[in-house]
Structure formats: structure tokens, C-alpha cells
Amino acid sequence: MRRCFSNTAIALIAVLVVPSACGSSDSGPTSMNGPVNSTTSSTTSPSPTSTAAPTTADRQALLDDLRTSFGAPGAIAVLRVGDTDWHGVSGSADLAGTELTGETRFRIGSITKSIVASLVLEEVGRGNLSLDDKVGDLLPGIVRSDPPISIRMLLDHTSGIFNVGDEGDVIADIAKLTDPALRAEASDLATRYLAGEQVVIPDRLFVALAETHDRYFAPGAGCHYSNVNYQLAGMVLEAVTGESIADLVRTRIVEPLGLRRTTVAPADAASPEMRSYSADSVTGSLDDLTDDLIAVGNGASGGVISTADELLTMMQAIVSGRLFSQSLLVEMKHPTVQSANAYGLGLATYYLSCGTFYGHGGAIDGTESIALVNSDGTGGVAIAINLRKTADPNLLALAESLLCTARN
């Protein structure tokens, strides 16, 4: 097995990438829209062999303890295991005290990647794509074609493409752009962003900035988490289907599952109700980052906005195989890389004390979240908290506590 390592530092880039990270709730902040979570947990939850049945009050206490100890304004969770269907909220959606409810939306960050991977696999099942198709052939002139990168390499992060926005120097990258039009566009976007304007980085520009760097390794020879992989996957989907990622999510996932509150940014420019905060490293005061957002093109690397309930519903549909064939589901779940993050095609594997779960974590602009589903998709948990700081809230530990006590 190849080994995959995610970037483990918060990138605070002042120009084209906003100072928000997406990361795992176990391995710490890493990238602009969120990496996978660790497959192991340091939870101190009650033993899953305990005979004491957890009560609603027990679960609420766990959520309250996480939020208050971390200092976040609010947290929200949904748990479905067996006969248990628990919805918990703690604190408020913002510093003004706005109520958190089951309808409260938040940015799910890189959990979006699982959704986009499922759309790619659906196209594979329809015969419109192959996992071995070369990205350079499908998107000529967008990404270098030699050495070739396959669709599979995008989904499991083995392409070697540079993770622009989380590593390197964006200003230096702009200067290295060889296309005068792209260089002028990037400079204009940087100027507008620094002037306080919200901007959208076109997919082609985002990829071009990554392509100013050498590959981390030859395609397929290693693994390195990169948001650019999923921007490219989104571009492939749009090229093959003729539809935007926002429309594909709506018509193939949201509407078939009967969801009402799930959309994709930047097509949806509205602010989610759950405001997002970062803690000042010196004063500890909370800064609202909800709208301090630079959206990236098609939104495929981390643009979905949803509720905890609808997020868990989507992840259950993916992991149960309701959206594409069982043979492709096996490929999606199977870790093509092995490390602390056992990552398949848009899904991470979590080995908890009570069994194997599949899912993803994400963080973006002051919100962290995680969604885990059991192997047959019949149950799982989704959690979000609206504070991002250098410390780790360890959502994975809370997820394990909720899942493994509920399975008694």
C-alpha cells in the first residue's frame, strides 16, 4: 500500500486564500477545505461493553462538555443508531445568541469531497467515465498531461498535484503564471480581496496556480492531500455532464433524498445560519469568519452547505450504495493508501472501538465538522462546531462516544 500524509499546518495566506483552514477533527487543522480525519481516536468515552444505556441527558452532556471546554459559541449533532434518533444542540448559532435548531445550516468543508466522489462514481457506473481516464485528455490545456493523471488519482489524492492555498506562497505563484491573462486576473482578484470584496477564484486559475509547482511525486507514486484534486474532479464532471456541480448535487442527491436545506457555494452566496469563528491567538477574542470567504470555482473541494440531519442522510446514502453500484462502492471504501488516514475514493476509514466506520471531516472558515457512518449505512453521526483554533476540538472522540455507547 502507498502511504498518504496530509499537510498539518494552518496556511494563513493573506491573498487568494482566506485565513481559514479545513482540517480533520483528529489530526488538526490542515487545508483550505478539510482533510481526512485520523482513523484512530483517543476518546475517553465509556467502554462500549458497558451495560448502562445512555440517556438523552448523557448525550447532551457530552455535547455540552465538548462545546464549553473548547469555548465555541455553538455545537450541533445528529445520531442515528438502531432505534436511537437523537438531535442535540448546545449553545447558539452566533455570538448574538441566535437559536440553534435542526434547520441550522453550516459549511461542511471537505465532507463535500465524499459527495463529489459519489457523483464521479455515478458517472463511471453510467459508462460516461472510467476511473482510469486521463485528466489531461478530458481537460486539455488545464493540467499538464505528462506524466498523466487518472480520475482515480484525483479521488484518492495520489496525483501529486500541489495543494495550492495551504502550502507555498500565492504571491510568488501569481508571478510565475506564464499566461498573461491568468496572471492579470489573479492580480486583480488579489487586489479586490484585499480591498474587502468577496471574490470567486475560477477553477482554471486555481489549477494554474498549483501547476506553477512541481509534483510532490510522480502520479501514483505517493499520496498527498490536495484540494486541487477535487476542483479538477468537479471540472471533469461539469465537462462530461454539461451541468454545474451545484446542479448535479441538487438533481442527483438533494432532490432524490428529499432534502431541502442543502446547497453548494459559490452558486449559493447566502450565509449559513451557524456563524463561524476563529480565536485570536493573543487575546482569545472570537473573530467572525463566516463571510470572509474566497470561494473556489465549482465548489467541489468544499462548497456544500447543509444541516447536520441532511449531511448524515447524504453520507448514509453514499455509504449504503444507494447512489451507485455496489462494485463501485467497494472501490470507494477500499483504502488505496494506508497510513493514519486510510483513504479510499473520497471516503476515510475509521477504526473505532465498536467497529469500522466510513466518512470524512472538514473545516472551513471557523467551522469544523465530521460525519461517520457504519459499514452498511444504516446509522451514523454528524457533528459540527463553530470555532476554529490551533487546539483540536476532537470531534472524532465525541463521535466515538456517541456511536459506541449507542450500540449497546
The residues with which 381 forms a beta bridge, in sequence order, are 79, 372
Q: Do 361 and 369 form a contact (C-beta atoms < 8 A)? A: yes
Among 166, 264, 289, residue whose Cα is nearest residue 224: 166
- pLDDT at residue 294, as a whole number: 64
The vertex-31 CA angle with 169 and 140, nearest 5°, equals 70
Identify residue 274 by its one-letter amino acid code.
Answer: M
In DSSP notation, 77-118 reads EEEEETTEEEEEEEEBSSTT-PBP-TT--EE-GGGHHHHHHH
How far apart CA 334 and CA 139 sit, in angstroms, is 27
Q: Do 268 and 249 form a contact (C-beta atoms < 8 A)? A: no
What is 4-406's CATH topology? Beta-lactamase (3.40.710)
Domain residue limits, the chain = 4-406
- pLDDT at residue 293, as a whole number: 63
- pLDDT at residue 337, as a whole number: 65
Side by side, the strands of the sheet bearing 286-288 are 286-288, 277-279, 387-388
- pLDDT at residue 105, as a whole number: 98
H-helix or E-strand spanning residue 11: none
H-helix or E-strand spanning residue 182: helix 180-194
pLDDT in tens, the chain (408 residues): 334 544 332 232 223 333 222 233 333 333 344 444 444 444 334 444 445 678 999 999 999 999 999 999 999 999 999 999 999 999 999 999 999 999 999 999 999 999 999 999 999 999 999 999 999 999 999 999 899 999 999 999 999 999 987 787 888 899 999 999 999 999 999 899 888 888 889 999 999 999 999 999 999 999 999 999 999 999 999 999 999 999 999 999 999 999 999 999 988 888 999 999 999 888 889 999 998 766 688 999 999 999 999 999 999 999 999 998 999 999 999 988 665 558 999 999 999 999 999 999 998 889 999 999 999 999 999 999 999 988 899 999 999 999 998 754
- pLDDT at residue 7, as a whole number: 37
How far apart CA 109 and CA 157 sit, in angstroms, is 17
Q: Do 4 and 224 form a contact (C-beta atoms < 8 A)? A: yes
